[in-house]
Structure 1
Amino acid sequence: MHLTPHELDKLALHQAGYLAQKRLARGLRLNYPEAVALISAQVMELIRDGRSVAELMDLGRQMLGRSDVMEQVPGMVVEVQVEGTFPDGTKLVTVHHPIAAEHGNLELA
């Protein structure tokens, strides 16, 4: 199998997101890289599912809450950006202040 550097980056991000999901499921609070990886990987999956940019921006803010991450993480994650291919072309999805609520929706995470 031959993957482009861009595809390898997406694969590594997906793997990091999966690891973050496992740690969150074990009850661990996520650190900065884990939180960003989880949100990014889930947004990539939702892009593949056909969600709109507006939906993705909203869902990205619901995934993790302050109780799901280490104390300093919400202030560090100002935005998460994910590039994805949509039916009308490639777009950059930006989730502003993704860790704002006290509790996240773990069904989305």
Structure 2
Amino acid sequence: MELLPREKDKLMLFTAALLAERRLARGLKLNYPEAVALVSMAIIEGARDGKTVAELMSEGKQVLSSDQVMEGVAELMPEVQVEATFPDGTKLVTVQNPIN
């Protein structure tokens, strides 16, 4: 199977998000890459579900709280930007301060 670079990136992001979910389930705090992956995947999957950009910008802030990430991670993530595929095309979704 031949994958485009963008498809490989999404696959790696999805894998990292699954790892983050498993670590959260075990009670572990997430590091920066895991936190970014989890928020990004929530946005990408929400777009596939037909949610609007505005809905995803709001929901992106509810994925993680500061007690679920390692110290300093929230400060490293002033925003998360993800190109997501919506029914009407690809759009850039920006979530400001994704970790409360």
Q: Does structure 1 conserve the Cα–Cα contact (< 8 Å) formed by 2:82 and 2:93?
A: yes
Aligned residue in 2 for 1:74? 74
**3-state DSSP class of the match of 2:62?**
coil
Identity of aligned residues (%): 61
Q: Does structure 1 conserve the Cα–Cα contact (< 8 Å) formed by 2:61 and 2:97?
A: yes
Shift of 1:42: 1.5
Aligned residue in 1 for 2:22? 22
Over the residues paired in the alignment, what is the CA RMSD in angstroms? 0.8
Q: Does structure 1 conserve the Cα–Cα contact (< 8 Å) formed by 2:47 and 2:86?
A: yes
Distance (Å, rounded) in 2 between the aligned partners of 1:58 and 1:86: 16
Aligned residue in 1 for 2:89? 89
Distance (Å, rounded) in 2 between the aligned partners of 1:32 and 1:25: 17
Q: Deviations over 1:3-24 (max 9, x none)?
A: 1111010000000011001001
TM-score, length-scaled by structure 2: 0.96
Structure 1 moving runs of 4+ over 3 Å: none
**3-state DSSP class of the match of 2:29?**
coil
**3-state DSSP class of the match of 1:8?**
helix
Aligned residue in 1 for 2:58? 58
Unaligned 5+ segments in structure 1 are 101-109
Distance (Å, rounded) in 2 between the aligned partners of 1:12 and 1:31: 16
Letter in 2 for 1:76: L
Distance (Å, rounded) in 1 between the aligned partners of 2:85 and 2:46: 11
Shift of 1:87: 2.4
Unaligned 5+ segments in structure 2 are none
Q: Does structure 1 conserve the Cα–Cα contact (< 8 Å) formed by 2:44 and 2:85?
A: no
Distance (Å, rounded) in 2 between the aligned partners of 1:47 and 1:30: 24
